[in-house]
Structures are given as structure tokens and as C-alpha cells.
Copies of this chain bind each other. A is one copy, B any other.
Amino acid sequence: MMNEQAPTDRLDRVIVPIRVRYAECDPMQIAHHASYPVWMEIARTELLRAQGANYRDCEASGVFFAVARMNIRYKRPARYDDELDLEVIGLPCEGVKVEHRYRLKRGKELLMTADTTIVCITGEGKAVPVPEGLLP
């Protein structure tokens, strides 16, 4: 699927390494399911950075990204100290939203797929168009 993306002059995809922390695991001896959204947020931060932007600067300039929707399918468990690869792809959709898709792997094994919708808002919570420089 990813290879079908038309070539662009901007990065719209990165793969981020994740090492599973002990504190992220639960009594079932696996990464707790609420740890994954935190990893997905790291991946979005790194995607922005790869595009030459910086989410800290965004917030400083009054532009915030709020998660409006999140859909996660857990396929196989991740364990403490596992080294994972989290791929994120950004897809602009409408003017004020960005959609991201995620695939988490341990080697060739697919552990999770997910997708989120982020809305661009002001500090007061008003939806605004995603700034040009931040579009994936």
C-alpha cells in the first residue's frame, strides 16, 4: 500500500524505533494497550521533524493538534525490552484535519495497525486550517 503513494518532494512517512519500557507493561506481561497511543504520538512528532517542522514550535505559535479519533487493532502482544518499528504515514484530509496510519512491527511480525484523525486548533479550541508548512 505504502509503495503506491505518488512520489512527492516531501516526506510523508517515517519509521520510528520503539523500545518497550518496563513501566509500559502490565501484569499480563505485555505492553499495556494504552501505551500504543503514546508511541503513535512519538511517531507523529518524528514525522513532523523529518518534514523540517517541530511540534513544540507549533504550540509556541498557537497551533495545536488535537486527536479527534483513534482506531487501534492489536494483533500480537509486544513485550518488555522488545525493539519495535513504528511506521507512520500522514495523509491530509479536508482543510483542518490530518489523518495518520500506523503499522507496528517486531522484525517482520505485524503487531498492530491503527489510524487517527488529528484536528488543527487554536489555543481556544477553534478548528483552523493546517498551516501550509505542516501538511504531510
Contacts and interface: CB of A to CB of B under 8 A. Distances in A.
Total copies of the chain: 4
Contact of A25 (B21, B27, B30, B67): B27
Contacts of A23: 26, 32, 34, 37-38, 41
A67 to B, nearest CB: 4
A74 B68 contact: yes
- The A interface, classified by DSSP as helix, strand, loop or mixed, is mixed
Contacts of A73: 68-69
A38 B45 contact: no
Interface of A: 21-23, 25-30, 32-35, 37-38, 41-42, 45, 54-56, 59, 64, 66-74, 77, 79-81, 125
